Every structure is written in C-alpha cells, then in structure tokens.
Structure 1
Amino acid sequence: MTGETRGRDRLRQRLVPAVATVVTVAAGLSVRSVLGGDLAKYAGDALYALLIFWLVLVVAPRTRAWVAAVVAFAVSVAVELFQLTGVPAELGAHSVLARLVLGTTFNAPDLPFYAVGAALGWALHLGARSAWAARRRPTPQPR
C-alpha cells in the first residue's frame, strides 16, 4: 500500500463517520416534524445514541464497531441517569443546546432505544465496511 493510498484510507476512516454524524443530526432535528408522539420521541433517542456512535468513530476511527456501540450506549445511559440529578433540567432552562444535548427529565423507557441506536450504528458500520472491502477486491481477469 502506498503512502497516498494510506492517506486516502485515513481520510475515509474519519470522513464517512463525519458525514454520517451530519446526516444523523439532521435526522434528529427533523424527526419531530415528520413523526409524532412517542414514535418521534423514541426515534430521537435512538438517533441520539447513533450520533454518539459516529462521534466515537470520528474521534477514534480505528475503534472496533462493537466497542463504539458499547461506548455510545454507555454514554447515552449515563446522560439519562444524569437527568436524575436535576442539573440538566436547570441547564436546559437557560440553554437550548444544553436541553438538546442533555435532555431534562429521566425516562426509563428511553434506555432500550439507546441500545437500538447503538446497534443500528454497529450494523451500518459493518455493512459499510463490507461494501468497501468488496469494492476494493480485485476483479478476476478472464483467462
């Protein structure tokens, strides 16, 4: 592998999850305008964990997909549990960004949807890697 090829691979390792991060944020911000009620709320929870999954891969692109999924789930649960302290609600009262990132109130039914989002990230990442690997395989030459 040449230096140029390695450089492109490193760029792709960060670029793909970075683009996925932007798409996930857009989906998360628009989900409530497309869906309603509990469906929108829980889709937002799954997208929150998916966003964290992609951010892990942007920061540490060589992280295994299952590790990124576990980290995404753990961070999501930690933020949800942090809501029990009341600090996120207080911060959210003064900042839209804090409200979007930390939420305001604990809701136990959110927890399984964080797992769904983390698992979705894992599955999408593995699918993308498989497709990339298949694309890079040399095609057999006719004899």
Structure 2
Amino acid sequence: MEKPTEPASIPGADRDTRRFMARAVAAVAAVGTVGAGLAVRAGADGAFAKYAGSALYTVLLCALVAFCAPRARPLVVAATALGLSWAVEFAQLTGVPAELSAHSAAARLVLGSTFNAPDLFWYAVGAAAAWTVHAGVRRRA
C-alpha cells in the first residue's frame, strides 16, 4: 500500500498550509513594521515620530500575536495587542520598566520608561490600523 503524497490526500494538509501562510504573512508584517519604525526614527522627529512609533509598537504586537495564534480573528488579535500595549504603558507608572530600561537597551525598546497618557490613544490607532489590514487580508484569503 502506497503512502499518500498529494497534499489533498493528507488529512489536515490544507489547514496546515493556511496556518503556515498566516504565520508567514505575520512574520513579513512584523519585519515590515520594524522597518517602518526604523524609517520613522531616521526620517522624522518630534511628535510625529513619537506617536507614529507608539502606533507601530501596537502594530508590531498585532503581527506577533497573529504569528503566535494564526487562527485568531482579527478583532481578537487587535484587542490582545492593544491590551498588551496598554499594560506596558500602565506598568511604566510603577517605575519597574524605567529601572529595567536603565540597564538594557532591549528593555528600553520593549518596555519604555515613562508613562505618557497620549500613547494610550496612539496604541488604539495602531490596533485599529492593524485590524483593518488583517481583516482585509483575511477576507481575501
């Protein structure tokens, strides 16, 4: 008896392919988001750069959540990323992220150091933008 080698004849192959593709798209989105953040940092300054960075932080979290949970609905992905962004921002009120950021560049990039209330709004903007793109891509797939 021959083993099935055609993807259509392997149970769950289509589902595995969709998950793989969803993860690949999420990975590309994460890399693109980091690239956009670096471009904003290199090419802009002031309030635009700061708040674009805040929005892109949440967009990156959306991509990472989508990578980890490729079957999650876009609204769940965006809400999770927004919740994580807000949790990190509110954690800055404790002083712990500032202490960690003083010793590590990675902690400074991930956790920040100082609470800034307007960031909460810009995180929501990033989550909404990522949700819009994710829902559109998912609808077409």
SS of 1:106's equivalent in the other structure is coil
Match of residue 28 from structure 1: 37
Identity within the alignment, %: 55
User: Structure 2 matches for 1:93-112, cutoff 5 A?
Assistant: 93-112=102-121
Task: Kindly provide the CA deviation profile for residues 89-122 of structure 1, in whole angstroms up to 9, marking residues without a partner as x.
Answer: 1111111000000001000011010000011111
Q: 1:70 aligns with which of 71, 79, 92?
A: 79
- Gaps in structure 1 of 5+ consecutive residues: 133-143
Q: 2:63 aligns with which of 54, 63, 75?
A: 54
Match of residue 18 from structure 1: 27
Shift of 1:69: 0.8
Query: Alignment RMSD, CA only?
Result: 1.4
For 2:109 and 2:39, the matched residues in 1 are separated by 13
Q: 1:115 aligns with which of 120, 124, 138?
A: 124
Aligned residues: 132
Q: Does 1:87 align with 2:88?
A: no
Shift of 1:130: 2.6
For 1:7 and 1:60, the matched residues in 2 are separated by 13
For 1:71 and 1:5, the matched residues in 2 are separated by 27
For 2:66 and 2:123, the matched residues in 1 are separated by 17
Superposition TM-score, scaled by structure 2 size: 0.88
Contact between 2:19 and 2:71, CA under 8 Å: does it hold in 1? Answer: no
AA in 2 matched with 1:101: V
Match of residue 41 from structure 1: 50
SS of 1:62's equivalent in the other structure is coil
- Gaps in structure 2 of 5+ consecutive residues: 1-6
Moved over 4 A (4+): none
Shift of 1:36: 1.5
Q: Does 1:128 align with 2:137?
A: yes
